[in-house]
Chain A
């Protein structure tokens, strides 16, 4: 089976990050078509394409654009280039290899939503990507793809880069806005939602890098073409970062609905050392892990949800049978403890407690009741924290107990034997 390369068709082209090269691939070609349309037509096209957010929540992009508070200006566009979800590395690929594609996508969004200023929020570690983007932005300005009266259309738009400084939570959209405004990256109360009061309390669109990069194709080829790929509700292609115990880890652009089995065994070359698949995490560390017997689940929003997980950011982490799942879970618990912003009680205290318990079990100090207690703690955090980070932290713990309780028991038994 093969990839479906809508965004990444030229990704391996040398110097694609340069404007001149990008233009040879048809880059910025969508703009001419764009300026012939009315903004609201563009929104309708994106709606019709079925494109959904690729940052994690999967919210329909066109719908989001149509929610902006009426008649309130200025409005802002924020591109979420925080890419911090463990397992995910697809945005970095796009940012470093094809920055102009993102710029093109942002121009389309800004035109459709009557926005004059855009920001790209990079995670702090993406200095290199941000430098490349600054160069790309300069090139685009020089060619009047950005700036005043873009290509004589009467439309003004510019983009600025902004770097974070190390905080996973800043991927959450309202925390991102706080961070961009020079605040602690704590999430904000919702409502008001960003579409009503976002950056600088103005209506704001926030989209993931991949979401925005998918837009030029929709303008170029038409929404019907885009929607012809994928499943009924999950349209188009998805970039999936495959990592972990596979022979050929990498970013693969697949048609929505491709099975996990195809991803692992056809594209990523199968499991290392031809070991057996034990578990996989389909959508980044926050999404519940699934056992090997669900390997035929199609990779799309609905099927993964039906299987008890989520598509998330599209980061497939593959775990083979050489691993005790508690070890992987502990590592993720430690991550969430480290990344909890500390604003709300269940997440701040709960992530640390879960980590303490898992660490205890891992170190040989656990009891069986502690596994039950973990389940209850998960329940006490779930949907009770201020933002979804708390729920995300519960994901690996609850799912690993659900599917691999025997791994916990094996450790506990070993401990009991060791103690005796």
Chain B
């Protein structure tokens, strides 16, 4: 069973109020569910479908289109490492490798302590401050190995 927390329950009418139809609230509610649980479980899709009067199949169809929705539990910190062209030109591949090694996982994996999940990511619009990574909602730019180490070490 999935339920929105009472704080999130309160936010639902605010979200719905933005749009003339309920379906438009689909992405916001999926995001809300993911922020609550760390990922979007099938039960969450059923619940969102119930609220918005959409079939669970439809909800999954939409959710699975967008890469930011995780369908499985993730680490506490999700590291999205940009490897697209501007970052690549500035050595992103090597830094990504460095990060993976430091966390002792492969790209796409989650550390055993469920603290970090590491993903390769396409361009995140920080090209003139390449290379960069996004950890949860925060952009970290102009990366170097040292900077990465410092950032990762500072997270608890």
**Residues in chain A within 8 A of chain B (CB atoms):** 83-89, 91-92, 119, 123-128, 160, 162-168, 179-186, 200, 241-245, 249-251, 281, 285, 315, 317, 319, 323, 327-328, 331-332, 335, 338-339, 341
Residues of chain B having any CB pair with chain A under 8 Å: 18-21, 23-28, 30-31, 52, 54, 61-62, 65-69, 80, 83-86, 88-90, 122-130, 134, 137-139
7 extra interface residue pairs, beta carbon distance < 8 Å, beyond A87-B127, A167-B66: A86-B84, A119-B18, A124-B31, A124-B68, A243-B89, A244-B130, A317-B127
By the criterion CB–CB under 8 Å, are B65 and A241 in contact? no
Instruction: Contact check, A86 vs B122: say whether CB atoms are below 8 A apart.
Output: yes
Contacts of A335 in B (CB 8 A): 84-85, 122-123
Q: B66 and A166: CB pair below 8 A?
A: yes
**Nearest CB in chain A: distance from B84 CB, A:** 5
A194 to chain B, nearest CB (A): 16
Chain B residues positioned under 8 Å from A128 (CB to CB): 137-139
Beta-carbon nearest neighbor of A85 in chain B: B123
Which residues of A have CB within 8 Å of B24? 162, 180-182
- Cβ-defined contact, B85 with A249, below 8 A: no
Contact A331 B88 (CB under 8 A): yes
User: Within 8 Å CB of B128, what residues of A?
Assistant: 89, 241-243, 249-251
Determine whether the beta carbon of A125 is less than 8 Å from that of B89.
no
Do A84 and B125 touch across chains, with their CB atoms under 8 A apart? yes
B27 near A86 (CB under 8 angstroms)? no
With contacts A123-B125, A182-B23 known, is A165 near B66, CB below 8 A?
yes
Q: Quick one: closest A residue to B69, CB to CB?
A: A165
| B89-A166 in contact (CB<8A) | no
B66 and A200 within 8 A (CB):
no
Task: Determine whether the beta carbon of B86 is less than 8 Å from that of A185.
Answer: no
With both chains docked as a complex, state the minimum distance between the C-beta of A169 and any C-beta of chain B, in angstroms. 9
Q: Look across to chain A and name the residue whose beta carbon is closest to the beta carbon of B29.
A: A182
Contacts of B83 in A (CB 8 A): 331
For B127, list chain A residues within 8 Å (CB).
86-89, 241, 243, 249, 315, 317
B68–A332 touching, CB < 8 Å: no
Question: How close is A404's CB to chain B, nearest CB, in angstroms?
Answer: 15
Residue from B28, B67, B125 within 8 A of A166 (CB atoms): B67
Report A-chain residues with C-beta under 8 Å of the C-beta of B80.
125
CA distance A357 to B62 in the complex (A): 31
Q: Knowing A87-B85, A165-B27 touch, does A184 contact B61 (C-beta < 8 A)? A: yes
Contacts of B130 in A (CB 8 A): 243-244, 249
Who on chain B is nearest to A117 by CB?
Answer: B20
Chain A nearest CB: distance from B19 CB in Å?
8
Chain A residues with CB under 8 Å of B139's CB are: 128
- Provide a sorted-by-A list of 21 A–B residue pairs whose CB atoms are within 8 angstroms: A92-B125, A125-B68, A127-B137, A128-B138, A128-B139, A162-B18, A162-B27, A165-B66, A241-B128, A242-B128, A243-B127, A243-B128, A245-B89, A249-B128, A249-B130, A251-B128, A285-B123, A319-B89, A327-B88, A331-B84, A331-B88
In whole angstroms, what is the CA distance A380 to B86 when docked?
Answer: 28
Q: How far is the CA of A281 from the CA of B126 in the complex (A)?
A: 16
- Picked from B62, B66, B90, the residue with its CB within 8 Å of the CB of A124 is B66
Q: How far is the CA of A290 from the CA of B17 in the complex (A)?
A: 48
Q: Tell me, rounded to whole Å, the shortest Cβ–Cβ distance linking B121 to chain A.
A: 9
Closest to A91 in B: B125
Q: B35's closest neighbor in chain A, by CB?
A: A127
Contacts of A200 in B (CB 8 A): 20-21
Q: Is the CB of A183 within 8 A of B62?
A: yes
Residues of chain B lying within 8 A (CB to CB) of residue A285: 84-85, 123
> How far is B91's CA from A327's CA once the two chains are assembled, in angstroms?
13
Residues on the A chain within 8 Å of B23, using CB: 181-183
A182 touches B25 (CB 8 A): yes
B85→A163 contact, CB < 8 A = no
